Structure 1
Amino acid sequence: MRARLLSLLLRASRPPLLWGILTGAACVAAETFIAFALAQVAPSTALNVVYLVGVLVVAYLWGMGLGMIVALASAGVYDFFHVPPLHEVTVFSSWTWVPLLVFLIVGVLVSAAASLMRSLVIEAEERRREADLDARTARLLLRAEHLRAALPVVARRLAQGLGLPFLAIELGPVGDDPRHTALPLTDDGAGIGTLVVPAGLPAAMMRRLRERVVPSLETLLVAARDREAIGNALAASRDELGRIAEEQAALRRVATLVARGVPPTEIFGAVAREMGRIVNADHTAIERYEPDRTVVLVSSWSSSDRGPPPPVGSRRPLRDTGLSALVLRTGQPGRMTVEEGATGELDGWAKDKEITSAVASPIVVEARLWGVTIAFFRAREPQPEGVEERMRDFTELVATAISNAEARDELAASRARVVAASDETRHRIERDLHDGAQQRLVSLGLQLRMAETAVPPDLPRLKEQLSHTAEGLTLVLEDLRELSRGIHPAILSKGGLGPALKMLARRSAVPVDLQVRVDGRLPERVEVAVYYIVSECLTNVAKHAQASLVCVEVDAAGDRVTVAIRDDGVGGADPARGSGLIGLIDRVQALGGTIEVTSPAGRGTTLTAAIPIGKG
């Protein structure tokens, strides 16, 4: 009941006039009965106030005109029932018309006040509803991910809130249509859209749309547009940050491989894979330029099993119209599409008929054009301008890896040459000593012995001197032989690694537990390296370790020989302090092997070396 009463009081349209006439008559009758009841306790001149209630109600609901009519009727009834002489109309026969005139004036004022109050109440209600509608519209627009998708929903809500059969919001101008009225939506004079409403709306509704709905909608559209732009910018920033983070992670993984010094082939594979994923390529390739105008495929990657690339190591001639030839001529990054004449190279490389374009970046190693990286794409749209820049970051890592590998190879070759030259020098000195000095000393010793036997018996002192000289010469020969064995053991060349190590164990000042598991002969350089490792370690143990036992294990299994030497001495050995271990490290690394020394103080020393047999 209360809700229906509020709806009646706040309804913009007035109730039917007949209802107003009946309501006015009912109010006058009710007020008359109330006035009779109050006449017992109140003066008759004050009863006219009772009749103003009906005037107020009728004027509020049906307007000032019907309110004035009710006021006249109330004045006549009041004069007839309450102004002496009773039951007569005396307004024209006495001075009672003065209070009646005052009553009529008050009634007119009450009617005007009621009408004004009604208009104000209705306007306030409309403003409240508009505020609620604006709030709902703002929530819809400002929460929408896409402004254009939210406009139909907003238009339906506005049409319902305004009581219109149709309403549309368009971003941009609309064409002329006699059935519709277009209200432009602007932002500082620039058009942002159009509000489309049915044609022929009442002037009050059109004024309401222009004065209140359009400005509010313009503000909301501008805010929603700005919010969408900011959201898109933030999303783009997030995507860009994510891309950068992913790219940096990929570069870090490849850089880690480069820093670890893994083989270049493994780095090439990682670069092809990581670069392909970063630039969203369908295939990637790393090729090396050859002097005969051919390129060799050193690594490749594909995002799917369609169109497998040629095998690694395959060679193909450079095409003058191809992308690899373009990079070779210019030394700069480049890109090509199938339509630009690169059909043969693109389809011929990836075996993928859907490839439409490719982007290449040169690999420059120490100012020398070494090769090229190529990314192949199936997408029809052009690739972004930043693809070459992103590929260049990976090619720089490839160049670093190649440079490091070449430097390592040169260092290893240099070490190998130094070790080989040293071994050759040792071998030549040992051979010269054996074939030259030792033989001459043996010959001199025999001559002295012959001279000793030829001395006459009457010269005993001369015979004694000759004997003493021959014995001294024999001692010198033994020292020379010992020195010769230290320079290059002849037993190693003749008998192999096992007998040579057994000789070292027998000559060691510290007891040696020797275990040699070698079948057959090893390459000479490997045998020499193992021999000197064991010899140097036994010498160091005798001089510094204060050990009671040395365990030596030599095991040739597979493609490498492993040497492990352990003692129970005082430990504390440090290759950095200039001991003979540095020479051993250089010798082992020159053969592509590894050596590790563990020597905690008080817990002995352990040396472990692994030497590839194939590189001997």
Structure 2
Amino acid sequence: MRARLLSLLLRASRPPLLWGILTGAACVAAETFMSLALAQVAPTSALDVVYLVGVLVVAYLWGLPLGILTALASGFVYDFFLVEPVNRITVFSSWTWMPLLIFLVVGVLVSVAAVLMRALLIEAEERRREADLDARTARLLLRAEHLGSALPIVARRLAQGLGLPFLAIELGPVGDDPRHTALPLTEDGAGIGTLVAPADLPTATMRRLRERVVPSLEAVLVAARDREAISTALAVSRDELARIAEEQAALRRVATLVARGVSPTEIFGAVAREMGLIVKADLTAIERYEPDRTVVLVSSWSASDRGSPPPVGTRRPLRDSGLSALVLRTGRPGRMTVEEGAAGELDGRAEDKEITSAVASPIVVEARLWGVMIAFFRAREPQPEGVEERMRDFTELVATAISNAQARDELAASRARVVAASDETRHRIERDLHDGAQQRLVSLGLQLRMAETAVPPDLPKLKEQLSHTAEGLTLVLDDLRELSRGIHPAILSKGGLGPALKMLARRSAVPVELNVRVDGRLPERVEVAVYYIVSECLTNVAKHARASLVCVEVEAAGDAARVWIRDNGKGGADPGRGSGLIGLIDRVQALGGAIEVTSPIGHGTALTAVIPVGDG
């Protein structure tokens, strides 16, 4: 009931005039009966105030004219029923018209006040509704993900809130239409949109749209447009950050492989895959330039099972119209479409009819153009700028991996040459000692023994001196033979690894359990390495380990020779302290093998070595 009454009081349109006449008559009648009742206790001159209530109600609801008429009717009724003489109109026959005139003036003023109050209340209500409507409009626009999709909903809500049959909001100018009125929406004189309203709206409604709705709508549209621009920029920035993070993660994975020193083949495969995923390629290939103007495929990757590149190791001639030849000529990144290649050829991928374009980046190793990395695409759209830059990061890692591999190969070859030269020198010294000094010492010893037998019996002291000198010469010969064995064991060259290790076990100061499982001869460099590993370990055990037993196992199976040496000594051996183990490690690594030493304190020392067996 209260809501209905409030709605009636704040309605912009007035009730029908007949209702106003009837309401005015009813009010005058009710006020007359009330005044007659009050006349018994109050002076009649004060009862004219009662009639102002009806004037106020009628003027508020039906306007000033009907309020004035109600005031006139109230004045005459008051004069007829309450002013002496009663039951007669005295306003024209006596001075009673003066109070009546005052009443009429007050009634008119009350009517004006009622009309003004109603106008103010309706205006306030309209302002409140417009504020609510603006708030809802702003909420819809500022929460919308896309401004264009929210405008029809906002226009429909505005039309409903303003009581209009139709409204539309366009982001651009609209054409002339006699059925519609276009209200431009601007920001600092620049158009941002158009509010389209029916052309037959009342003037007051159009003025309300221009003066109230348009300014607030402009402000909200500007804010919504700025918010959408900021959101778009943030989304682009977020996507860019995600792309950069993904790219850095891929580069980090490849860089980890490079740092670990894995084989170039594995690195090439990882680079081809990671780069293909980063640039969203359908195929990737890494090719190496050859001096005879051919390229060799060293790695490839495909995003799907269809259209896979040729097998790794495929060699093909360079075509002057191809992308690889373009990179070779310029030394810079390049891109090419199928239409640009001769007869549709695109670096030997013409068999994949769906490939439309490719982007290539050179691989430069130590200032020399080593190869090229190519990404192939099936999409018809041109690839965005910056693909070459992103590929360059991967090519730099490939170049680093190649440089590292070359450096490792050169270092290994250099160490192998040093070890081979050292072994050859040892062998030559041992051979020279055996064929030269040892033979002469043996000859001198025989000559001394012959001289000793030729000494007369009457010279016993001379015979004793010759015998003592011959014995000393024999000791020198034994020392020289021992030295010769340390330089290079002759038994190793003559008998092989098994007899040489058995000799080491017999001469060891610590008991040795020897188990040699080697069929036939191994390459000399491998036999020498195994011999020195066992010899150095037995020497270290005798000097430092305080062990009572050493177990030595040697096995040659497959493509490697394996050595296991364990003792039950005190442990604590550390290759980093300058022991002979460092030389063993260098020798094994120079042959491409690996060696591991485990020596916990109080639990003995264990050494494991694996040496590849190749062509000697």
TM-score category (smaller protein)? over 0.9
The equivalent residue for 1:496 is 496
Structure 2 residue 558 is matched with structure 1 residue 571: no
CA distance in 1, matches of 2:347, 2:462: 99
Q: CA deviation at 1:549?
A: 2.0
8 Å Cα contact 1:347-1:353 kept in structure 2: no
Counterpart of 2:405 in structure 1 is: 405
Q: Alignment partner of 2:41: what SS?
A: coil
Q: Provide the residue aligned with 1:160 in structure 2.
A: 160
Are residue 75 (structure 1) and residue 114 (structure 2) matched?
no
In 2, are the aligned partners of 1:364 and 1:399 still within 8 Å (CA)? yes
Matches of 1:303 and 1:36, distance apart in 2:
103
Q: In the TM superposition, what whole-angstrom CA distance separates every residue of 1:177-228 from its partner, at most 9, and x where no partner exists? A: 1111101000111100111111121100100000000001100100000000
1:381 deviates by: 1.8
| Unaligned stretches of 5+ residues in structure 1 | none
Hey, what does 1:258 align to over in structure 2? 258
Correspondence for 1:45: 45
Give the aligned partner of residue 174 of structure 2.
174
Compared CA separation, residues 495 and 246, structure 1 to 2 (3 A): same
Amino acid of the structure 2 residue aligned with 1:275? M
What SS does the aligned partner of 1:596 have?
strand
Counterpart residue identity of residue 232, structure 2: N
Q: Report the secondary structure of 2:380's partner residue.
A: coil
Instruction: Tell me which amino acid in the other structure corresponds to 2:481.
Output: R
TM-score by length of 1: 0.97
Q: Which residue of 2 aligns with 1:376?
A: 376
Cα 1:350–1:577 shift into 2, 3 Å: farther
Q: Tell me how far apart the structure 2 counterparts of residues 615 and 48 of structure 1 sit (CA, whole Å).
A: 135
Report the CA distance between 1:469 and its aligned residue. 2.9
**Amino acid corresponding to residue 270 of structure 1 in structure 2:** A
Partner residue in 1 for 2:523: 523
Q: Could you say what secondary structure the match of 1:348 adopts?
A: coil
- Describe how 1:500-579 pairs up with structure 2 within 5 A: 500-579=500-579
User: Which residue is 1:234 aligned to?
Assistant: 234
Distance 1:556 1:86 in 2: 146
- Give TM-score scaled by structure 2 length: 0.97
Q: Distance in 1 between matches of 2:8 and 2:344?
A: 84
In the TM superposition, what whole-angstrom CA distance separates every residue of 1:21-65 from its partner, at most 9, and x where no partner exists? 111111111111111121122211111111111111111111100
Report the 3-state secondary structure (helix = DSSP H, G, I; strand = E; otherwise coil) of the residue aligned with 2:348: helix
Work out the CA distance in 1 between the residues paired with 2:39 and 2:355.
Answer: 106
**CA–CA separation in structure 2 for the residues paired with 1:201 and 1:344:** 66
Percentage identity across paired residues of the two chains: 88
Q: How do 1:129-528 and structure 2 match up within 5 A? A: 129-341=129-341, 344-346=344-346, 348-349=348-349, 351-528=351-528
- Residue 457 of structure 1 deviates from its aligned partner by 3.9
Label 1:51 to 1:367 Cα distance change in 2 as closer, same or farther (>3 A). same
8 Å Cα contact 1:282/1:378 also seen in 2:
yes
Q: In 2, Cα distance between the equivalents of 1:368 and 1:130?
A: 74
What letter is aligned with 2:103?
Answer: F
Task: Write the letter of the residue equivalent to 1:606.
Answer: A
* Contact 1:246/1:278 (8 A) holds in 2: yes
**What amino acid sits opposite 1:87 in the alignment?**
N
Deviations 1:490-534 (A, max 9, x none): 222232222211211111111122222333332221111111011
- What is the CA distance between 1:611 and its match in structure 2? 1.3
Q: Is the 8 A contact 1:514 1:552 kept in 2?
A: yes
Distance in structure 2 (CA, Å) of the matches to 1:259 and 1:345? 38
- What's the CA shift string for 1:449-497, capped at 9, x where partnerless? 3333344444444443333333222222222222222221122223222
How far residue 349 of structure 1 moved from its aligned partner, in angstroms, is 2.9
Question: Where do 5+ consecutive residues of structure 2 fail to align?
Answer: none
Query: 2:333–2:388: 8 Å Cα contact kept in structure 1?
Result: yes
Instruction: Describe the SS at the equivalent of 2:571.
Output: coil
How many residues align structurally?
A: 616
Indicate if the aligned counterparts of 1:308 and 1:350 stay in contact, CA closer than 8 A. Answer: no
Q: Give how far 1:331 is off.
A: 1.0
Determine the C-alpha separation between the residues in 1 that align with 2:345 and 2:170: 50
User: Cα distance 1:608–1:344, how it changes in 2: closer, same or farther (>3 A)?
Assistant: farther
Residue 5 of structure 1 aligns with which residue? 5
Say whether the 8 Å CA contact 2:344–2:350 is kept in structure 1.
no
Please report how far the alpha carbon of residue 104 of structure 1 lies from its aligned counterpart in structure 2 after TM superposition.
0.4
Cα distance between partner residues in 1 of 2:123 and 2:342: 74
In 2: Cα distance, 1:386 partner to 1:506 partner: 72
Question: 2: distance between equivalents of 1:68 and 1:465?
Answer: 169
Name 1:27's counterpart in structure 2: 27
Tell me which residue corresponds to 1:588. Answer: 588
The separation in 1 between residues aligned to 2:349 and 2:584, in whole angstroms, is: 48
The amino acid that maps onto 1:417 is: R
Q: Separation in 2 of the partners of 1:371 and 1:219?
A: 59
Q: What does residue 611 of structure 2 align with?
A: 611
SS in 2 for 1:519: coil
Q: CA deviation at 1:566?
A: 2.2
1:425 and 1:344 map into 2 onto residues whose CA distance is 62
Q: Is the 8 A contact 2:572 2:605 kept in 1?
A: yes
